Structure 1
Amino acid sequence: MRKVFKISLALVLASTISYASKIVSVGGSITETIVAFGHQDDLIGVDLSSSYPKDLKSKLPNVGYWLSLPQEGILSLKPEIAIISSQAKPKKVVDNLTNYGIKTHIIEDKPSIDSAKRKILQIGKILGEDKKAEEIISRIDTNISKINEQIKGKNKPKVLFVFSRGKGTMMAAGPKTKPGVMIELAGGKNAVDFDQYSKISPESILKMNPDVIIKSNHAGDSGLDDKIVASTNAGKNGQIYSIDMLLISGFTVRVDSALQKLSCMLNNQQLSYCK
């Protein structure tokens, strides 16, 4: 009888381990949070936006891009669990996963600090890492409080964030994009007058005359014209920086680090935590 019990217990444990080790993650910030909880080895697939840690995509199959998910991308991996950003599309594909026996968790993924913290709590609960989630949130709150103290009362520089989707497709992020919200939280004012992402020309950059220019380093050359940039306040004062796209737009477990880095860029590296 005791032998039978031991065998049954072993089967239960094996089943639990197998279940926990078959996760597909959709959304860069979702994947990064799973990794932060120490569950990188539980992942069997990620989407194309999951760019952190850098070697993750080279080790795991990708299931497509989170804003245009092909259903077969996830189904082909036969996951037990799918942890998916609430912004993932098409919704029909996401909603249909449960019909294939996949336990699907939809995670809040909005551009705010509160949403980032709820994301951490949600994923922590799924993975049984509630204590780690609380520790991460406590760290974020402490660091953001320090940031707010440092930038309080300082002038808000005019900031332009740009990235490229290929030659001749330089884009800028408006105030209602995730990078735009991050710029405001870090103590800046967006240089553009449109809300979302839009293609911009070198001439429009000259007209904006930003105090700070930040480039995404996710796709190499941003397409900025050096002569145009040199004529702006940012160029004249050497206030041109690059940053990882996921860091500035992910609202991940590194949101406090992102805001520290951004606020340093906006204040010429003159804050106490700037290196």
Structure 2
Amino acid sequence: MKTLFLSLWLSFVCGLAHAQERVVVIGGSLTEIVYALGAGERVVGVDETSLYPPPTEALPHVGIWKQLSVESVLSLRPTLLITWQDAEPRQALDTLAGLGVRVVTLPRTPATPDRLLENIRTVAEALALRPRGEALAADIEQRLAQVAQRIATVKTPVRVLFLLAPGGGSAQVAGTESVADGILRLAGGHNVASQKQYASWGGEAMIAADPQVIVVTQQSPQTAALDSLPGIRHTSAWRNGRIVSIDQALILGMGPRVADAVEQLNQRFYPTFRD
């Protein structure tokens, strides 16, 4: 009887503690993870890179993860801070931890599904939501595996290119080691950009690469503005009207909606494919 009473009491205390927990999340993908785990009601503040889900718009914002402000974070009276391992300045994290804030940091790279799944489990553990973390990770893994099975039947991958915020006279093209590159590949595309991270391309490079599909963000200027980019009108993608737009939060962050991004792009890359 005493054991049962103690178990019930501990459950009550833990539940109360979680209800009173005040979480600040600094890092867009990490914020999405917390909400995907169903712990959004605990979040009292986010950073400027946290653009999803919509409820985050109404929360206080505390700058960005590369410029942490101890004062801004403490003003929200947090009990838990979740951020990236390379958040700066490091001294700010040490100060917050010294003042009693529980600080959980996670690796940001490499931006791969495996890293994402590890981060989901770590965040779930920090929030005492391990079963939800395992369920979320399993769902993402299964959906990505289904897309991979479809891709395995494709003989020649479609040549794709991702342009970040085009319309300013030059194109910022996503190369290897970028999150966008990883998502394009997961969706079955062959990224024609071989440089690391992002680089500005001229007309000759665009024409030589000749992408069959060009991916832009929904937040970029309208498709008509792409016409001003050097060389773009001479690509197969432009001639065939294969300009694909996607929410920037999906393509620029390896977060819990990665399966949404991969499924959307896979369907646009191979519109005639049937299971």
> TM range, normalised to the smaller chain?
0.7 to 0.9
TM-score (norm 2): 0.85
- The answer on 1:263 being equivalent to 2:262 is no
Query: Who is 2:4 aligned against?
Result: none
Question: What runs of 5+ residues in structure 2 fail to find an aligned partner?
Answer: 1-8
Query: Who is 1:51 aligned against?
Result: 51
Q: Partners of 1:272 and 1:65 in 2: how far apart?
A: 43
> Number of matched residues?
262
Cα 1:70–1:218, aligned 2, differ >3 Å: closer, same or farther?
A: farther
Give the aligned CA root-mean-square deviation in angstroms.
2.7
> SS where residue 241 of structure 2 aligns?
coil
**What does 1:115-264 align with in structure 2 at a 5 Å threshold?**
115-154=115-154, 155-164=156-165, 167-168=168-169, 170-220=171-221, 224-225=226-227, 228-264=231-267
State the identity as a percent.
28
**Deviation digits for residues 188-223 of structure 1 (CA, Å, limit 9, x no counterpart):** 222223111123345532332211100022354585
Is the contact made by 1:161 and 1:172 (CA closer than 8 Å) also made in structure 2? yes
Q: Partners of 2:141 and 2:43 in 1: how far apart?
A: 28
Cα 1:70–1:221, aligned 2, differ >3 Å: closer, same or farther?
A: farther
**Bigger shift: 174-183 or 191-200?**
191-200
Is the contact made by 2:175 and 2:193 (CA closer than 8 Å) also made in structure 1? yes
**Deviation digits for residues 227-261 of structure 1 (CA, Å, limit 9, x no counterpart):** 84332111122211111222123221112222111
Question: What runs of 5+ residues in structure 1 fail to find an aligned partner?
Answer: 1-7
| Matched letter for residue 125 of structure 1 | E
Cα 1:141–1:191, aligned 2, differ >3 Å: closer, same or farther?
A: same
TM-score (norm 1): 0.85
Is the contact made by 1:159 and 1:190 (CA closer than 8 Å) also made in structure 2? yes
Q: What is the CA distance between 1:13 and its match in structure 2?
A: 7.0
> SS where residue 54 of structure 2 aligns?
coil
Q: What is the CA distance between 1:165 and its match in structure 2?
A: 8.3
Q: What is the CA distance between 1:27 and its match in structure 2?
A: 0.8
| Matched letter for residue 272 of structure 2 | Q
Q: Partners of 1:25 and 1:161 in 2: how far apart?
A: 28
- The answer on 1:32 being equivalent to 2:32 is yes
Is the contact made by 1:27 and 1:50 (CA closer than 8 Å) also made in structure 2? yes
Q: What is the CA distance between 1:34 and its match in structure 2?
A: 0.7
Q: Partners of 1:49 and 1:250 in 2: how far apart?
A: 10
**Bigger shift: 135-144 or 221-230?**
221-230
Q: Partners of 1:85 and 1:192 in 2: how far apart?
A: 28
**What does 1:1-80 align with in structure 2 at a 5 Å threshold?**
16-17=17-18, 19-20=20-21, 22-57=22-57, 59-80=58-79
Query: Who is 1:107 aligned against?
Result: 106
Q: Partners of 2:54 and 2:164 in 1: how far apart?
A: 19
Q: What is the CA distance between 1:70 and its match in structure 2?
A: 3.0
Is the contact made by 1:108 and 1:118 (CA closer than 8 Å) also made in structure 2? no
**Bigger shift: 237-246 or 195-204?**
195-204
Q: What is the CA distance between 1:143 and its match in structure 2?
A: 1.3
Query: Who is 1:4 aligned against?
Result: none
Is the contact made by 1:164 and 1:221 (CA closer than 8 Å) also made in structure 2? no
Query: Who is 1:86 aligned against?
Result: 85
